[in-house]
Each structure stands twice: as structure tokens, then as C-alpha cells.
Structure 1
Amino acid sequence: MEKKTNKYDLTLRSRQYADGQSEPARQIELTIDNHDELFGIIEKLQAKDPFGDTSQAAEFALGLKIFSEVMLKNRNHPLFEELAPAFGSFMKRLKSM
């Protein structure tokens, strides 16, 4: 039986390049599965505003949740072997804020 997850569509589109070159716009579209309700998490972090910038709070929340879901799905992958214990401590600290 497959675990139920929330499904999201994510579109990332380039807007402006740092070097000023007018390269063609690029875009990637992904469907993301996540066990958490991402909009609620983004809103909570924006309300706490840990960085003094609600946009950064949203970027942080989204990046963290996408990353952590991949890590959970691949918890036995050697790439995450050293990171997993520290990441668990980090998440506990973040949730206690």
C-alpha cells in the first residue's frame, strides 16, 4: 500500500542572470510529493521571520522540505549516512524555535 502524500507542481523559471548576458530563459517543471503540507510550513516560517526577510523564510522552508523529503525517501543511501544524525538534531532545534 502506497503512503498518501501531498502533491505539488513546482515551476522554476530563470528571470535574470547575474552576468548580464541575455541567455535564453530556462524552465523546469516538477511534481513533488511531500508528507507535509508545504504552504502551512511556509506561512509558519514567514510568521516567525527568522532571517528578517519573509522571502528568505519561504525559500528556506521550501528548500528544506524538498531536500528533507528526498533524504527520507533515500534514508539508507550512503550519501546521507553522515548527515542524517546532524539533520535530525537541526530539525528538532528548528521546530523548538
Structure 2
Amino acid sequence: MEKKNNKYHLVLQELSLKDGSEGNKSLEFDFENHDDLFQIFEVIKAKKVFDNERTAQEFALGLKLFTEVMLKNKQHTLFEELRPAIMEFMKKLKSY
């Protein structure tokens, strides 16, 4: 039985670079996540984990993208040491 996931489309556009030049690169892709990301954004915002809403959105998106890759690659040796710490971190975040 195939597990159903939420599907998303992400567009990342480089606007300007720290040297003052105009950005001209972009990245666009579809991805899936087992969580409703927009609900996660609202939860993080409501919990006031960060004072700044944009920071909260960046945090939530980055965390959910990273942890989904980690879940899909559970046996990858890259995550061996990190997995227990991430699990504890997620517990702490959920109790925040």
C-alpha cells in the first residue's frame, strides 16, 4: 500500500547577492511531505517560537524539508549520529 503524502511546488529565486550584483538563478521543483506544511507554519507562528514571522517560516520550511529527507533515507549512514538528536529536538519543539 502506497503511503499518501501532501504534494508541494517550490520556487526559489535569487534576487540579489551580497556583493551587490543582481541575482539571476532560480530553482523550481515538486516535493512531497507527510505533514501539512501550511498547518506547521501556523503552529510555529501560534507558539511564538520566534518573534519574527518570517524567521518562523524559514525555520519551519527548512526543518520540514530536512527531516523529510532524513525520514526517506533512514538507513543512510550520514544521519546515524544526528537521528537521536533530531528526535529529541522534535519532542522539545512539540512541547514548546
Q: TM-score, normalised by structure 2?
A: 0.95
Partner of residue 17, structure 2: 17
> What one-letter code is carried by the residue in structure 2 that aligns with 1:21?
S
Residue deviations 1:46-88, cap 9 Å, x none?
1222221010000000100010000000010000000000100
Inter-partner Cα distance in structure 2 for 1:54 and 1:3: 32
> What one-letter code is carried by the residue in structure 2 that aligns with 1:68?
T
1:15 match: secondary structure: coil
Number of aligned residue pairs: give it: 96
Inter-partner Cα distance in structure 2 for 1:15 and 1:48: 30
Inter-partner Cα distance in structure 2 for 1:51 and 1:37: 20
> What one-letter code is carried by the residue in structure 2 that aligns with 1:74?
N
Inter-partner Cα distance in structure 2 for 1:82 and 1:68: 14
Q: CA RMSD in A?
A: 1.0
Inter-partner Cα distance in structure 2 for 1:76 and 1:8: 25
> What one-letter code is carried by the residue in structure 1 that aligns with 2:12?
L
Percent of paired sites with the same residue = 53
Q: Which runs of 5+ in 2 are unaligned?
A: none
After superposing on structure 2, the runs of 4+ consecutive aligned residues of structure 1 that deviate more than 3 Å are none
Inter-partner Cα distance in structure 1 for 2:69 and 2:92: 20
Q: Which runs of 5+ in 1 are unaligned?
A: none
Q: Does the 8 A contact of 2:15 with 2:22 survive in 1?
A: no
Partner of residue 5, structure 2: 5
